[in-house]
Each structure stands twice: as structure tokens, then as C-alpha cells.
Amino acid sequence: MRILGFMTGTSLDAIDMAILETDGETITGFGAAGEAQMPEALRALALEAIVAGRGWKRGEPEPNLFHHLSEEIAMAHHAAASAFLDAHGLGWADIDLIGFHGQTVMHKAPKDGVAGRTRQLGDGQLLARLTGRPVAFDFRTADVAAGGQGAPLAPIYHVARAEASGLNPPLAVLNLGGVANITVIDRDSRVLAFDTGPGNGLIDQWVERHDLGRFDAEGALAAAGRVDRTVLSALLGHPYFSQQGPKSLDRYDFSLDPLLGLSAADGAATLTAFTAETVALGLRQIGVATQAVIVCGGGRKNRTLLGELGLRTRRPMITAEQAGWRGDAIEAEAFAYLAARTLKGLPISFPGTTGVGAPLGGGVVAQP
């Protein structure tokens, strides 16, 4: 099947798109990949929905904004992909299936025996009508309902991508998005994964708070600062880091309050060290010896962060491109792959990745 995968991360910067040829088990080809900037009006709505989602209490009706934003997200994806396909000489008739992640506006991990909650906005049925193609979406709900974390979901794709590249375990794949997550494949092909901590999310928030843009380009701001070890120690004292995986995070589970009083550069340096140290801690918790780490996601472009990661994990950091992967397309490819598995009824989450009791299928398929 030729599948178009979409991903919009918690950074709210772009709609990522990638075409993958797969049956949900073997990858047979890689099609075009690209991105479209998220429209400013849509980004503003998404930020408003995230605030509403954080205040959404159990048992209450979902915020009114969610329905409207779901439709807007579907329409924005249709517009972005129509232009993308046209630019590559393709049309919707050339696509067999769509994998539509949607925009996460709320994610709460299970805690103290209370089931988690997760919500990704995006009207899959509307997108199916607009495109005339079947759409797989809502990938996380079934896992959370079964007691899983609902994240990360990309690990099964990391396994398939490594196999397609001829890479042998043990192997580690690190995704540096708003939240960082690690996938480790051991010598017996057992897969372990969890969110290690903040990826770019806190750094982005810090930079925006100081009116210095939306992210620390190449880590230049952090490179100009010094790590405040007292603040770093306070950040590392969060109870999340004493938990064993599988475990998951929301981008907003951490506060910038411990950094108040630091200069912009020192705060960026401290948060960059924080991300790197929590990845190192995660690798130690998994306890599988890997020679190198393949780094995906926007954080791989942050030179200061890559340097901190190498220093603190004592492992070489290999960017996705150095491994022959498409670094900006990995998650869009992953949801194309998960769409194929959803259509075929294959599991997409596993005890070692989300903590669910047994391998579990997920997702919903909307027909046009």
C-alpha cells in the first residue's frame, strides 16, 4: 500500500507529511516527504485548546473549542497535503490510505491506579470525505483505555525502519520533539521505550518567554550561557525520574518556575543540560548497552544539545541523516506505518513500550 502519514507535534510548528509503501510489517519503499507551516490562526487555536485541555476535569463535557478545532485541523491537513501531492506529481487517487495523528491537546499518564487520559484533535471522518481516501486516526485511545500510557507509539516503526536499513540490534533511537522519548532494541529484538523527559519543549517555552523566537536555533543561546547546577538539581528532583518505564509525559508536566531569576542564556543552557541528563538517566534505567544513538526530531539540529547528549550519555550521537534516515519525516512515516497496521488489525502498542498488558491494536478507520 502507498500510505500518506501526517504528524503535528507539540511544538505546533508544522504539518509533517511522508509517503511510505508498506503492508504494516515490511517497508518496501519511501515516497516523497515534506512539511507545511502550521497557519498562525490554527496555531493560536491549538494553544487555546491546550489551555482548555489542561483544565478539563474528568466527567465534564469536553471543551466546546475541541469540535471546531478538530474540523479546522482536518481541513488544514487536506490543504497542506493537496499542495504537497500536486508538487510531486501525485493526486489523492495515488494514495491507498492516510495515517492521521492529529494534534495532542491533552495527555495525562495513568497514576495511582487511575487510568490515563489523552486527546488528539482531528476529524478523521471529515478528512476521509475531503480526500476520498480511508483515514486511520485516534491511535492512542484504545491503549489508554486498556491501562497503557498511550505513548510512545513510534517504537514498532523504529524496529521496521532499522530492519529496512540493515541495522542490527542492540540499537537506540532517540526522538527529540517537544517531549523526548527513547526506543531501545536489545540483542534479542526485545523493544523497550518510554518518554525520558522534556525534549525541546521547555527550551522553546523559555526562548519564547524572553521574546527570542520560538526555539534556540542550533543551540546558540544555550552555548552562550552557563548551567546552573542548583537549578538543574532541582529539576532532576521531579518524581517522574525515579519511576521505571514504561512511562509517558505531557509537554506541560514541568514548570519553568525553578529558572526564574536566571538570564536567558543561562536558563537555556540549564534546560539543555536537563534534557540531556534525563536522556542519559533513561538509558541507564533501560540498562541495555548500545554503541550509539540515532537522533530524530527537531532537537537533532541543536548542536549544543547534541554535545550535551554525547557528554552525558557517553555514546556517539548519530543524526537520522547520518544513518540514512529522513530526520524530519520519521514520525510522519511512523503514522503511515501504524495506519497500515491499524487497517490490518495488527498491534501498535506493547507491554515494553506503553505498559499495556498485552500487544494491542488501536486506531479507527474512517471510510470516505
What kind of architecture, by CATH, is found in domain 155-315? 2-Layer Sandwich (3.30)
Query: Per-residue pLDDT tens for 286-296?
Result: 988 888 899 99
- 99 - beta bridge partners? 5, 136
Low-confidence ranges of the chain (pLDDT < 70): none
Crossing angle, helix 229-236 and helix 264-286, to 10 degrees? 40
Does residue 155 have a cis peptide bond before it, meaning omega lies within 30 degrees of 0? no
How are strands ordered across the β-sheet holding 293-296?
191-198, 179-185, 171-176, 293-296, 317-319
- 114 - beta bridge partners? 111
The Cα–Cα gap between 297 and 8 comes to 12
**Look-up: residue for cell 526564574?**
260
Q: What is the DSSP secondary-structure string of 68-98? A: HHHHHHHHHHHHHHHHHHHHTT--GGG-SEE
The Cα–Cα gap between 91 and 227 comes to 50
Contact residues for 212 (Cβ-Cβ < 8 A; gap 6+) = 221, 264
Alpha-helical runs (H) found in 147-292: 155-165, 201-209, 220-223, 229-236, 264-286
- 350 close to 153: Cβ distance less than 8 angstroms: no
| Phi, psi angles (nearest 5°) of residue 222 | -60, -35
- DSSP code for 257: G
- 273 close to 304: Cβ distance less than 8 angstroms: no
Q: Which one, of 309, 312, 313, 330, lies nearest residue 321 by Cα? A: 330
Q: Which one, of 184, 180, 230, 223, lies nearest residue 9 by Cα? A: 180
- 36 - beta bridge partners? 15
Could you check whether 2-151+327-366 and 155-315 share the same CATH topology?
Answer: yes
- DSSP code for 57: -
Q: Which amino acid is at 178?
A: G
The Cα–Cα gap between 273 and 2 comes to 41
| Three cell numbers written together for 182 | 527513547
Crossing angle, helix 65-87 and helix 124-131, to 10 degrees? 30
Q: Spell out the domain ranges in the chain.
A: 2-151+327-366, 155-315
What three-state secondary structure class fits 256?
coil
The Cα–Cα gap between 221 and 264 comes to 8
**Number of helices and strands in the chain (H, E):** 11, 12
Query: Per-residue pLDDT tens for 157-183?
Result: 999 999 999 998 999 999 999 999 999
pTM as predicted: 0.95
CATH topology of domain 2-151+327-366: Nucleotidyltransferase; domain 5 (3.30.420)
| Three cell numbers written together for 226 | 552557563
**Look-up: residue for cell 542519559?**
280
The Cα–Cα gap between 173 and 193 comes to 9
- DSSP code for 32: E
Return the pLDDT at 280: 96
